[in-house]
Amino acid sequence: MYKNTLDRYTDAHLRDLSSLPVIYLFLSFLYQFCHFTPNSSQTSSLSLILENPCKAIPLDFVFVIDSSRSIRTNDYEKVKTFIINLLQFLKIGHDATRVGLLQYGSVVQPEFSLSTYTTKSEVEQAVRNMEHLATGTMTGLAIQYTMETAFTEEHGARPMNLHIPRIAMIVTDGRPQDTVEEIAAQARQAGIQIFAIGVGRVDMNTLRAIGSEPHSEHVHLVANFSQIETLISVFQSKLCSDMCEVVDHQCQHICVSSPASYRCKCREGYILNPDGKTCTAIPLDFVFVIDSSRSIRTNDYEKVKTFIINLLQFLKIGHDATRVGLLQYGSVVQPEFSLSTYTTKSEVEQAVRNMEHLATGTMTGLAIQYTMETAFTEEHGARPMNLHIPRIAMIVTDGRPQDTVEEIAAQARQAGIQIFAIGVGRVDMNTLRAIGSEPHSEHVHLVANFSQIETLISVFQIIQLCELTSVSVFTNKIKKQTNIKTARCKCSAYFSNNRNQFNQFDPQFFM
């Protein structure tokens, strides 16, 4: 509307208002602004400035730029402009996206590493300062340097176990003077996601040999350097889209996005299956060691059995999953069932219900010795140590041992058994610490009476389902019952979350 109105006035008409200089300046500016028609590059720049919908997914991003003699000076400048425009979609910083760049001709010339700059303006200036090499086209050598040097921790890449996507973008206009197939395959195998951009008469088969799968997402060819700018919108989509929201990823637990790709990840306590999508619970060899002394009343003994059965709900039991054994002790050790006895949860539950109270002494040291020397042997169902299946012993006791526990418990821990010590009532805390594994804050727990032992289950439900536990039941610090509702946690799909506080869970998860 304002533009059409101003069209009726010429600059001369506006000058008639010169007696009002401020109004004249304002109307002149408004007139020029409304008649401003940006060219294509200005439109691109404006859209970059005004719109940046990218999500802050950190990357380790290395540009690998062909700087051979076949590239003319003005085309080399267009590549630099392309890089600078692409940077607008990256949040650059030490804890965000790190950017490195190398160019190559007959040799590789690193311009800056992933650890050199921490701001976008620094990176942009370094790109502007690049000088054309104008030599050969040793693309394979450049890929080798990228894999062996540019993406090392020494040069600023973050450790692989942090799962920060490693992205290499290769821009080339010619046929390599060395081989690329084998070294590119090695780089991809090493976890580098490669985008291959060809300009001009580049052999498409060569680009496919360099780029990651799927080629439709990672390999691009444009006719000339003037057209390379058209890829900005393409890479905006790749760098700014959450692939997990766009594709039908079919990840059973967690989908992790990276540019133009994604990977599936399992919650703690699970491992990813060969299909790359489904998860399997990490198996355990788990033995309950239950104090069945005369100091425990019959109704309290039943509460211990209920505690065990409730705890079983969080274990996937089977021959190739978690194996469960149980022994109780008084003046002697009475094994109820070994790790090889049952292969289903219902069988284990029934065996627990059938247990009978011994009502004798409290030979805890003897029970730990049996656990180490017998319960966790291959003969009784424990899997070989070289399989690295965690061996877990959970000891529940209410009294002072009538034998020594310090030395035998230390031997059991040294033998690779992770011991959780749960005390009920007036148990000496020093005795529990002598039994349990380090750190004691995670492995040693004391409740006031048998009615409260059930509170450990509810705490475990919150911690387990909010993905804060490791492969064993109590590997994370247990919150006091009064603090459960303020436990900080990241909830799974089965939970709702309100300001990082536990809210509620879906009971169907257990069905």
Q: Which domains does the chain have, with CATH numbers?
A: 2-36 (no CATH), 54-245 (3.40.50.410), 281-510 (3.40.50.410)
* Residues 284/323, Cβ–Cβ less than 8 Å: yes
**HSE value, Cβ hemisphere, 13 Å, CA-based, for 428:** 8
Instruction: Determine the pLDDT at residue 56.
Output: 59
Burial 491-508 (b: 16+ CB within 10 A, else e): bbeebeeeeeebeebeee
**Within 10 Å of residue 120's Cβ, how many Cβ atoms?**
18
Range with top average pLDDT, 156-170, 225-239, 464-478: 156-170
* Residues 396/293, Cβ–Cβ less than 8 Å: no
Instruction: Determine the pLDDT at residue 53.
Output: 45
Tell me what percent of the chain is helix, strand and coil, each rounded to the nearest 5.
40, 20, 40
The mean per-residue pLDDT over the stretch 53-67 comes to 83
Instruction: Report the alpha-carbon angle 444-446-449, nearest 5.
Output: 155
Give the confidence band of 273 by pLDDT, cuts at 50, 70, 90: confident
What is the Cα–Cα distance from 457 to 453, expressed in whole angstroms?
A: 8
Looking at residue 453, the DSSP 8-state letter turns out to be: T
Give the confidence band of 280 by pLDDT, cuts at 50, 70, 90: confident
464 is written with which tokens? 């387990």
Where helices occur in 132-230 by DSSP H, the ranges are: 139-145, 181-189, 204-210, 215-218
Give the confidence band of 459 by pLDDT, cuts at 50, 70, 90: low
End-to-end, the C-alpha distance of the chain in Å comes to 63
Our measurement of the distance from residue 186's CA atom to the centroid of its chain's CA atoms, rounded to an integer in Å, reads 23
Percent of the chain with pLDDT over 90: 59
Main-chain phi, psi angles of 499, to 5 degrees: 55, 45
Residue 256 has pLDDT above 90, yes or no: no
Report how far apart, in Å, the C-alpha atoms of 191 and of each of 65, 151, 161, 263 are: 20, 10, 11, 12
Give the confidence band of 232 by pLDDT, cuts at 50, 70, 90: confident
Instruction: Determine the pLDDT at residue 22.
Output: 38
What is the Cα–Cα distance from 255 to 404, expressed in whole angstroms?
A: 50
* Residues 68/199, Cβ–Cβ less than 8 Å: no
Q: Which residue has the tokens 């490195």?
A: 100
What is the Cα–Cα distance from 127 to 111, expressed in whole angstroms?
A: 8
SS3 284: coil
What is the Cα–Cα distance from 459 to 103, expressed in whole angstroms?
A: 55
Of residues 458 and 66, which shows the higher confidence score? 66
Give the confidence band of 247 by pLDDT, cuts at 50, 70, 90: low
> Using one digit for the tens of pLDDT, what is the confidence trace for 99-120?
999 999 999 999 999 999 999 9
Give the confidence band of 262 by pLDDT, cuts at 50, 70, 90: confident
What is the Cα–Cα distance from 386 to 57, expressed in whole angstroms?
A: 38
Mean pLDDT computed over every residue of the chain:
80
